[in-house]
A and B are shown apart, each in its own frame.
Chain A
């Protein structure tokens, strides 16, 4: 039943975009002007290409995020059973978190969290 509903929701989302864009394309005016095809960079013609190498800082944060996001996935499966596990669950997760915090501390110390 839930799979059917999931498919219904996905189709609804796609239909929303398709219908909105379809109506807009049907009733909106259309005129051709070569200036319309230019990139909007405040009236100055674009210099060079925009698809180019980009600042590596964003990439570093993406790597850090990956580490912590996988950790959150593990934590979710632990969080639903922690009440049954009691003290055992607490002590075992402390070790897991300590290793992670060591990772964060290492990145901090190395200067990966500074924006340069």
Chain B
């Protein structure tokens, strides 16, 4: 298994040999920041392109095909178009909060994004409370959305923001409960450690019935958490024009859009990490030749393959189901997912205590 910390160690020693330690650490911090920024934007662009192509495929269309081979340059052109659009602030908006909102939304999603373990030794933040920190960081985003809706001084924005607030905080519970199920199984919250424990089998196989129920609950709640799919009430375009970002234009709007897509990737990446084994290759007991071949595929390829598989699954759900009403959304969460989640947690504890897992 390829270990990325060899590369970072080599860079560290090479830098130490030509400059003092403080300067070396400063330089490394700058490099980490730039890499994170590039990664973030590249993931956003790939996700937007994928969304368009997958959506087109589900609706029997072609999607973008004109710009570049298979339309691959379309999104990059759109970024430049977005940059050249005028940024308008409406007259009666609360200017300070209006300008603060995109910062909070992006901050939340970058913080959560930097926790994802892409390869062994390749994660930026690797706390011993990793899962907990990721959840906490990603839930800051709802503050940004509420601020955006409130400060716009537009009734559509306000309704969108309120719906989004109620929906996101409700579904966060289910995400928490389904992640707890896996934490009970691993007895650690560090994301890299969770991946290491899956070397002899992914948790969705190791935890059998409770883990599969938790995975399904996680997918539903995750889809609602990023305001997508059948749960896209906050920006229901047929009733609320664009929801909480109605009054944002140009790059202001672009930042909300980017954060939304990266949040989808974070949800998928977290699902890949805690349920599908992160950067661990697929092993089938007994087939040694197959396992050896799988070991040669580097970890980040596995991570991205699993994450994009989950993304594709969520897009499939989005383009298949009609939009729910707000009372249906809250009923689904509070009357079904929370009780099922609590019962499932108890079931997992019984499985762990009586050693019924693999």
Chain A interface (Cβ < 8 Å from any Cβ of B): 2, 4-6, 8-17, 20-21, 23-25, 27-31, 36-42, 46, 49-51, 54-55, 57-58, 61-62, 64-65, 68-69, 72, 75-76, 79-84, 86-87, 89-90, 93-94, 97, 100-101, 104, 108, 113-115
Question: Given the complex of chains A and B, what is the CA–CA distance between A54 and B173 in angstroms?
Answer: 24
Contacts of B37 in A (CB 8 A): 12, 15-16
Whether B111 is near chain A, meaning CB under 8 Å from some CB there, is yes
Known: A27-B84, A28-B87, A69-B172. A50 touches B33 (CB 8 A): no
Can you spell out 26 A-B residue pairs with CB atoms less than 8 angstroms apart? A2-B126, A4-B25, A5-B114, A9-B33, A9-B125, A10-B111, A13-B110, A15-B33, A17-B106, A21-B251, A21-B255, A28-B85, A36-B88, A40-B241, A41-B155, A51-B153, A58-B166, A64-B334, A65-B173, A68-B338, A79-B187, A80-B188, A83-B187, A90-B349, A93-B346, A114-B327
Interface size of B by CB at 8 A reads 77
Contacts of B158 in A (CB 8 A): 50, 54
6 interchain residue pairs of minimum CB distance: A115-B327, A37-B91, A24-B251, A13-B110, A79-B183, A12-B33
Q: How far is the CB of B191 from chain A (nearest CB, A)?
A: 13
Whether B177 is near chain A, meaning CB under 8 Å from some CB there, is yes
Contacts of A101 in B (CB 8 A): 339, 342
Contacts of B90 in A (CB 8 A): 36-40
Q: Interface majority SS on A: helix, strand, loop or mixed?
A: helix
Q: Interface majority SS on B: helix, strand, loop or mixed?
A: helix
- Cβ of B173 and Cβ of A12 under 8 Å apart? no
Q: How far is the CB of B114 from chain A (nearest CB, A)?
A: 5
Q: How far is the CB of A78 from chain B (nearest CB, A)?
A: 9
Question: Given the complex of chains A and B, what is the CA–CA distance between A11 and B107 in angstroms?
Answer: 9
Q: Mark B110-135, 1 if CB is under 8 A from A, else 0.
A: 11001000000000111100001000
Q: Which residue of B lies closest to A40 (CB)?
A: B246
Contacts of B153 in A (CB 8 A): 39, 46, 49-51
Question: Given the complex of chains A and B, what is the CA–CA distance between A72 and B106 in angstroms?
Answer: 25
- Cβ of B162 and Cβ of A54 under 8 Å apart? yes
Q: A2-B125, A5-B125, A97-B345 are in contact. List 11 more A-B contacts (CB 8 A).
A: A5-B29, A16-B41, A17-B102, A28-B251, A37-B92, A38-B90, A58-B162, A65-B170, A65-B172, A72-B180, A93-B349
